[in-house]
Amino acid sequence: MKLERAVVLSEGPPGLRVAAWLARRGVAVRHLGLGPTPVDPAWPSVVVGHRSVLQPWTGRLIDVAGPRRPLHRGELVEIPGRRRDLAAAAGGSLIGLTRDLRPRRRRPTTLGEWGVRQHGVSAWEGLLRPLLTKQLGTGCDPLPVSLAGLLIAPAGARGWAPGTDAREAAEAQREAVLSAGGESLCSVQVEGIEVEDGRVAAVMTEFGRERVDGGLYTDLPPSHIASLLPKDALTAGARAALAALPVEARTVVELRVEAAGLPWEIWVTDPQSPAIRLQRASGRPGEPRPDRLFVTVGGPEAEAEGVAQRLVSPLAEVKGVLGTTRHTVPVALRSTEGLDALKRLGALGIVGVGARALHLPLSLSHEARLAAAWAAARAPGQALEELLVPPPSVRGRELLP
């Protein structure tokens, strides 16, 4: 059955992206943002580069790239790297997808999530991760995979750059919802979620009752969703399990620096290091800002600014701290109760999008440990695989974000 209406409840970029994605496919979308338009100022939405440089990294994916335009030194192409483009380039098949991965060294972020969604945990553990390990010449486990959906060359590779400013991209996504006849509201006060006959029926906001006729998509953490549901929608045990889902705190520190010589992004994969990644801020499309750097660090928030400055000082001159943002990221589940509780949310008609809503682990080392646990306990593995597939009313490749 084709999805005709959907409500998207979000506070981050994944929710806004799925709202725009659904709107472009003719779904009447009501997007309710719990805050201002979500923007990750350090993260581009498109990769731009010369065809001759990107071709070795992308293989056939370059043929499904976005608009192309001539440049005085060669043809410039834009590669969005969305999961549906991965599938399209591979003819919609897992074998085709893995075949097209051979010529490029890509971070396994999108591939890992795509593989788990489409083919279950066993596909990632048994085929995709070993394949990447072989092609990269090193194990994939330690590579961070906290951000999904982007195709990028290795940090520091010449000839590529972010092609779209993140703020412009976010506004374009909102415009896609509005131009399709939908609605996109920001800073909405959500008071609760109604459930009728075991399915989500409506979202209660400051504006009244927003009926959910199709699907409810959300990037909110499961514990937040649980707090909005009526008491009888979840058992006490399920609520406790959702509240206890393990997370780790991260602090993003924005520094004012002289960083003209740094690559767009530096990943720190040493598990002993408090830094997760260093990122240049986007300026004009295709150009980094020379005076902004974002550093994601772990550990206590009070120490984050000092840690970030110490880590960056050997790489660039630090001229000051412009601000910090605190957030949490999922880590591996330690019990089957959490999986069962997440499955219950899916049974209510709540479709999670993004790593936080699905409680996808931050690193592939966590995923590897989870896969081993699922292999030893088949039922939990089945529960998660069912959770990652949308309910029957919205199932189908054309409706997968």
pTM score: 0.57
Range of the domain at 265: 247-330
| 184 bridge partner residues | 31
**Pairing between strand 275-282 and 288-297?**
antiparallel
* Gap between the Cα atoms of 384 and 401, Å rounded: 18
The H or E element containing residue 210 is: strand 208-211
Q: Look at the block and give the residue holding tokens 């131009």.
A: 179
313 and 271 in a common domain = yes
Q: What is the pLDDT of residue 158?
A: 32
132 and 196 in a common domain = no
What the block records as the tokens of 113 is: 């999530």
191 and 258 in a common domain = no
* Gap between the Cα atoms of 21 and 173, Å rounded: 8
Q: What is the pLDDT of residue 18?
A: 81
Please state the domain count of the chain: 3
Q: What is the pLDDT of residue 204?
A: 92
353 and 229 in a common domain = yes
Q: What is the pLDDT of residue 275?
A: 57
Q: What is the pLDDT of residue 173?
A: 81
255 and 123 in a common domain = no
* Gap between the Cα atoms of 365 and 180, Å rounded: 41
Alpha-carbon separation of residue 234 from 115, 185, 205, 241 (angstroms): 30, 28, 21, 11
Inter-residue contact 247 to 328 (CB < 8 Å): yes
Inter-residue contact 349 to 215 (CB < 8 Å): yes
156 and 232 in a common domain = no
Neighbour order of strands in the sheet with 288-297: 265-267, 275-282, 288-297, 247-258, 317-330
177 and 154 in a common domain = no
358 and 235 in a common domain = yes
Residue 35 burial (CB < 10 Å; 0-12/13-18/19+)?
exposed
Question: CA angle 230-235-240, nearest 5°?
Answer: 100
353 and 237 in a common domain = yes
Q: What is the pLDDT of residue 304?
A: 87
Phi, psi values for residue 94, rounded to 5°? -65, -40
- Domain containing residue 307: CATH number: 3.30.70.1990
- Domain containing residue 394: CATH number: 3.50.50.60
Which of 104, 130, 163 marks a domain boundary? 163
The H or E element containing residue 33 is: strand 28-33
List per-residue pLDDT tens for the chain, 401 residues long: 577 888 999 888 778 888 888 888 888 899 998 887 776 554 433 344 455 544 544 444 444 444 333 333 334 444 444 444 444 443 443 333 333 333 333 333 444 444 443 343 333 444 445 554 554 444 433 222 222 222 222 333 333 334 445 666 677 788 888 888 888 888 888 999 999 988 899 999 888 888 888 778 888 888 899 999 999 999 888 898 888 888 778 888 989 988 655 555 554 433 445 556 667 666 655 456 778 888 888 778 888 898 888 877 766 788 999 988 887 777 766 666 777 788 788 888 888 777 677 776 544 334 344 444 444 443 333 333 332 333 333 222 222 22
Contacts by 375-380 with C-beta closer than 8 Å and gap 24+? 375/122, 375/125, 377/336, 379/336, 380/336, 380/339, 380/340
DSSP for residue 129? H
Q: What is the pLDDT of residue 180?
A: 85
* Gap between the Cα atoms of 159 and 272, Å rounded: 32
258 three-state secondary structure: strand
295 and 364 in a common domain = no
* Gap between the Cα atoms of 220 and 15, Å rounded: 8
Which of 94, 128, 163 marks a domain boundary? 163
257 and 183 in a common domain = no
148 and 53 in a common domain = yes
Q: What is the pLDDT of residue 319?
A: 92
Q: What is the pLDDT of residue 206?
A: 87
Which of 163, 189, 217 marks a domain boundary? 163
